[in-house]
């Protein structure tokens, strides 16, 4: 009985596979449509449809690839499972026909037409969305095609089948162009030695292009539009940076004053015998008290202060001890408050990051514009300054001061072994990351800056 139930459940799940796969593909197409309507005014997801930065466009393109991949796999699953169930449904129909029934409703489900209409609507919607991002298959080009120069955008060219084809291939830098083939199979660009050099210097051509763009009637509108986009991106980035700084600080101060502070003070009252939070604070207090006692004796011997009797000296030492006890009790309580307040500040920082993903994309584009917009010498100077400060020869002393300050802030005893181990590993890892960034990214984006950095570093 149980086995029969499991078999029917598995059979039902397997029979629902085509509908489930189609629904998942349909939902992925809906997500693509939502991105188009919300961010690209209902147009295709591309850089030409909206005025976003490279980082924002790359983010949306990655989302598009993810959803297109989902649609592809789920449609393949739908077709495969549909082909299996079509055979079984045909057998069921043949069995009903053998029974001698001529009524179509006896071998067609009552809601078959409705289900088919829903399936057709979903498939049509999926084809409409996905069709924007799939290239049409071109016929196999003839072997006798002759390479021709690459036409300009929207220029009509003649294909091998004597049909007019509009080439809308976007322009690419000549350094990145090797061989471009149109959708009809015609070679439109083959880079040669003359293409690399050119008849005229590239600087002269760039000057003519700049003059042409400045004489364009729409040039002023384009400049104003770009300026507004840049201004908006700068405002959003600065607001986000200030939010990342102000929110954790305010969270730390408010929670420490109103929440954590009263709780810690309640449990660490003046009657509590625990004064020192760790041995380092205790040794520091003993050394300070001993120094105070020796200072009294030293001044008394030199005549800078009236000679004190043993009882008065002990009384002053006792007053100093009481004062120091209150001071170190407050320091211990403050360290405990800092621990809990820092945890809440980190939680607030993480919440801001999690709830501001679009602002992070804009900030990344803003930082890329600033970093990669600097001159080569400025880039090299910043890299050398950063590396010498954090991974250079004198950096261990700075890291030691930072770690000691963190230990004092949290009330943790200083461990020299941990400090030395940290200094021996973390700057090395950071140096490797910086070198990898220079080799992998900066060398590709701005090779002249890398050359300047090497010359300055030598």
- Give rounded-to-5 percent helix, strand, coil for the chain: 75, 5, 25
pLDDT for res 183: 39
Instruction: Say which range, 16-25, 80-89, 312-321, 442-451, has the weakest mean pLDDT.
Output: 80-89
Among 116, 24, 121, 29, residue whose Cα is nearest residue 74: 24
Q: pLDDT value at position 149?
A: 43
Range of the domain at 47: 2-133
Let me know if residue 145 belongs to a domain.
no
> Looking at per-residue confidence, does 106 or 408 come out higher?
408
Question: Mean pLDDT over residues 74-79, rounded?
Answer: 83
User: Are 20 and 27 in contact, with CB atoms under 8 Å apart?
Assistant: no
| Statement to judge: residues 69 and 176 lie in one domain | no
What gap in Å lies between CA 197 and CA 186, rounded to an integer?
24
pLDDT of amino acid 14: 61
Is residue 174 over pLDDT 80?
Answer: no
Residues 16 and 113 occupy one common structural domain: yes
Same domain as 180, residue 122: no
At 293-302, the pLDDT tens digits run 888 888 888 8
**Residue 362 belongs to some domain of the structure:** no
Residue 112: inside a domain: yes
pLDDT at 94 over 60: no
| Res 7 pLDDT > 70 | no
Look at residue 146 and tell me if it is in a domain.
no
pLDDT band at 340 (very low <50, low <70, confident <90, very high): very high
The answer, yes or no, to whether residue 44 has pLDDT greater than 50, is yes
Distance of alpha carbon 9 from alpha carbon 15, whole angstroms: 10
- Same-domain pairing of 63 and 164: no
Residues 22 and 108 in one domain: yes
Which parts of 82-236 are beta strand (E)? Answer: 155-158, 164-167, 179-181, 187-190
Together in a domain, 48 and 116: yes
Last residue of a domain, one of 87, 103, 133: 133
Confidence of residue 188 (pLDDT cuts 50, 70, 90): very low
Say whether both 399 and 272 belong to one domain.
Answer: no
User: Are 340 and 405 found together in one domain?
Assistant: no
Confidence of residue 152 (pLDDT cuts 50, 70, 90): very low
Number of domains in the chain: 4
Q: Residue 144 above 50 pLDDT? A: no
Does residue 230 sit in the same domain as residue 334? yes
Degrees (nearest 5) of the Cα angle 378, 381, 385? 140
Give first-to-last CA distance, the chain, whole Å.
82
The answer to the question of residue 379 being in a domain is yes
Selected residue with higher pLDDT from 351 and 57: 351
* Contact in structure between 29 and 130 (CB atoms under 8 Å): yes
DSSP string, 200-233: S-HHHHHHHHHHHHHTSTTHHHHHHHHHHHHHHH
Same domain, 329 and 395: no
Question: Which range has the worst mean pLDDT, 121-130, 176-185, 371-380?
Answer: 176-185
Is residue 228 pLDDT above 80, yes or no? yes
44-51 own/partner pairs: CB under 8 Å, 24+ apart? 44/132, 44/133, 45/133, 51/225, 51/226, 51/229
Residue 431's Cβ-count burial label (10 Å; 0-12, 13-18, 19+) is: middle
pTM over 0.75: no
Distance CA 45, CA 132 (A): 9
Which pLDDT does position 86 carry in this prediction?
55
Could you give the CA distance from residue 248 to residue 340 in angstroms, rounded to a whole number?
Answer: 13
| Banded pLDDT at 27 (limits 50, 70, 90) | confident
Both 352 and 378 in one domain: the answer is no
Whether 328 maps to a domain, the answer reads yes
Domain co-membership, 403 together with 352: no
Does residue 167 lie within any of the structural domains? yes
Other Cβ atoms less than 10 A from the Cβ of 187: the count is 16
Task: Round to whole Å and give the CA distance between 240 and 355.
Answer: 11
- The widest CA-to-CA distance across the chain, in whole angstroms, is 131
Exposed, middle or buried, 303 (CB in 10 Å: 0-12/13-18/19+)?
A: exposed
- Averaged pLDDT, 301-318: 82
Q: Which residue has the higher pLDDT, 202 or 182?
A: 202
User: Could you give the CA distance from residue 265 to residue 64 in angstroms, rounded to a whole number?
Assistant: 55
Closest CA to 363 of 224, 223, 235: 235
User: Among 182-191, 222-231, 309-318, whose mean pLDDT is lowest?
Assistant: 182-191
Q: pLDDT-derived band of residue 412, with 50, 70 and 90 as boundaries?
A: confident
- Round to whole Å and give the CA distance between 277 and 335: 8
The dihedral formed by the CA atoms of 362, 364, 369 and 374, expressed in degrees to the nearest 10: 150
pLDDT top residue among 312 and 422: 422
The answer as to whether 91 is a domain residue is yes
CB 368 within 8 A of CB 56: no
């Amino acid at each position: 009985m149980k086995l029969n139930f499991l078999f029917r459940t598995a059979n039902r799940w397997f029979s629902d596979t085509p509908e489930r796969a189609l629904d998942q593909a349909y939902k992925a197409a809906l997500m693509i449509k939502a991105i188009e309507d919300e961010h690209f005014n209902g147009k295709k997801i591309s850089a030409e449809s909206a005025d976003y930065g490279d980082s924002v466009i790359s983010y949306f393109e990655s989302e598009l690839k993810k959803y297109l991949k989902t649609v592809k796999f789920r449609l393949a699953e739908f077709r495969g499972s549909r082909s299996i169930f079509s055979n079984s449904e045909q057998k069921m129909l043949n069995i009903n026909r053998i029974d001698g029934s001529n009524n179509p409703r006896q071998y067609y489900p009552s809601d078959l037409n409705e289900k088919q209409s829903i399936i057709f609507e979903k498939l049509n919607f999926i084809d409409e969305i996905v069709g924007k991002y799939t290239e049409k298959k071109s016929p196999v080009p003839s072997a006798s095609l002759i390479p021709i120069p690459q036409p300009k955008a929207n220029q009509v060219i003649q294909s091998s089948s004597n049909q007019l084809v509009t080439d809308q291939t976007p322009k690419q830098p000549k350094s990145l162009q090797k061989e471009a083939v149109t959708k009809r199979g015609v070679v439109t660009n083959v880079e040669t030695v003359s293409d690399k050099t050119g008849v005229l210097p590239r600087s002269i051509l760039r000057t003519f292009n700049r003059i042409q763009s400045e004489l364009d009637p729409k040039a002023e509108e384009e400049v104003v539009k770009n300026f507004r986009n840049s201004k908006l991106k700068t405002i959003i980035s600065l607001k986000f940076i200030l939010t990342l700084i102000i929110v954790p600080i305010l969270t730390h101060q408010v929670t420490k004053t109103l929440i954590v502070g009263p709780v810690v003070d309640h449990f660490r009252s003046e009657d509590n015998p625990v004064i020192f939070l760790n041995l380092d604070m205790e040794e520091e207090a003993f050394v300070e008290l001993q120094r105070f006692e020796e200072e009294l004796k030293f001044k008394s011997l030199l005549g800078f202060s009236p000679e004190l009797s043993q009882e008065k000296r002990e009384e002053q030492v006792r007053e100093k001890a009481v004062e120091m006890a209150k001071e170190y009790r407050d320091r211990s309580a403050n360290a405990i408050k800092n621990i809990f307040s820092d945890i809440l500040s980190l939680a607030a920082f993480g919440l801001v990051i999690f709830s501001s993903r679009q602002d992070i994309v804009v900030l990344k584009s803003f930082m890329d514009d600033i970093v990669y917009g600097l001159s080569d010498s400025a880039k090299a100077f910043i890299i050398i300054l950063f590396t010498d400060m954090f991974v250079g020869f004198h950096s261990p002393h700075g890291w030691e001061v930072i770690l000691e300050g963190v230990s004092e802030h949290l009330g943790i005893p200083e461990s020299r072994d941990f400090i030395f181990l940290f200094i021996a590993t973390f700057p090395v890892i950071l140096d490797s990351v910086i070198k990898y960034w220079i080799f992998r990214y900066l060398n590709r984006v701005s090779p002249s800056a890398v050359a300047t950095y090497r010359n300055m570093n030598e």
